[in-house]
Amino acid sequence: MKKERLDKLIASQGLASRNDVKSMVRRGEVSVNGAVIKDSSIKVSYEDDIKIKGKSLLQTEFTYIMLNKPKGVVSASEDKRDKTVVDILPDELKRKNLFPAGRLDKDTTGFSLITDDGNFAHRILSPARHVDKTYIAEVSEKIDFLKAKQAFADGIVLSDGTVLLSAKLELIEDGEKQVFKVVIKEGKYHQIKRMFASLGTSVVELKRIAIGGLLLDSSLKEGEARIISESELKLIERR
């Protein structure tokens, strides 16, 4: 089991900044395996019983982060040219091995889930698991909603012959511009843009607003991130 500095491990849970944790340790509020610790630099792991003011630290081995992704940032852990979703995380949320579970295009905004749990990522991305991904899409040219809804439900055939799973389409704005809510269960390359392209229009704005039953936290501004709680995590895979 990987050992980390006490202050780093506590801060990585997103509960407090590293400096706040150091102050708590100095005040004698932190214990490890029953002993009050006054030195933040001791090495601990998730197997140790860490308590803050007598309460057990939420000890999950893995980290799950919700980021409201801004435009211009790529969905990767590292990139030579562009800033990545991992680069823009605040320091207190950063830890090793984080990667985005699923790719949003560089110009797509919204809910990017960043984790170090490979099995979880695999589960929520597998089309067989049917974890819905919900998007808001604004299009350039208006289309016939009822025809489009039926085509989405039947399974769109992309220009390269790929047959997609059934998807849901809802019209949420139909004034000067047309805006849709789209729910898909898979994540093919440029999927939503290609779905609308097959109907003769193009997507001009795209934002992911939910993964499974977990909505993007509306208090997160673009570029902001926070830890996903255990109960929220369950909403993602709830059927």
Letter for the amino acid at 88? I
Q: Does 69 bind ligand URA (CB under 6 A)?
A: no
Say if residues 82 and 69 touch (Cβ distance below 8 Å).
no
In 3D, which of 145, 199, 143 has the Cα closest to residue 168?
A: 145
Nearer to ligand URA, 21 or 182 (CB): 182
| Residue 119: CB minimum distance to ligand URA, A | 23
Say if residues 151 and 199 touch (Cβ distance below 8 Å).
yes
Say if residues 143 and 212 touch (Cβ distance below 8 Å).
no
CA distance 102 to 188: 10
**Which region, judged by CB under 6 A, interacts with ligand URA, from 40-48, 124-132, 186-194, 225-233?**
186-194
- Cβ neighbours around 89 below 10 Å, total: 18
The distance of Cα 71 from the centroid of its chain, to the nearest Å, equals: 15
Say if residues 68 and 224 touch (Cβ distance below 8 Å).
yes
Nearer to ligand URA, 65 or 206 (CB): 206
Q: Does 84 bind ligand URA (CB under 6 A)?
A: no
| Residue 192: CB minimum distance to ligand URA, A | 3
**What does the block give as tokens for 191?**
């999927």
| Residue 66: CB minimum distance to ligand URA, A | 16
Letter for the amino acid at 57? L
Q: Does 178 bind ligand URA (CB under 6 A)?
A: no
Give me the 85-124 binding string for ligand URA, x by CB under 6 A, dash otherwise: -------------------xx--x----------------
CA distance 73 to 66: 15
The only residue of 22, 95, 193, 207 in contact with ligand URA, by rule CB under 6 A: 193
| Residue 104: CB minimum distance to ligand URA, A | 4
Q: Is 39 assigned a catalytic role?
A: no
Q: Does 8 bind ligand URA (CB under 6 A)?
A: no
The values of phi and psi at residue 216, to 5°, are -60, 130
| Residue 124: CB minimum distance to ligand URA, A | 14
Query: Of the listed 20, 87, 105, 132, which one is catalytic?
Result: 105
Which residues are marked as active site? 105
Q: For binding to ligand URA (CB under 6 A), which residues are involved?
A: 104-105, 108, 190-193, 206
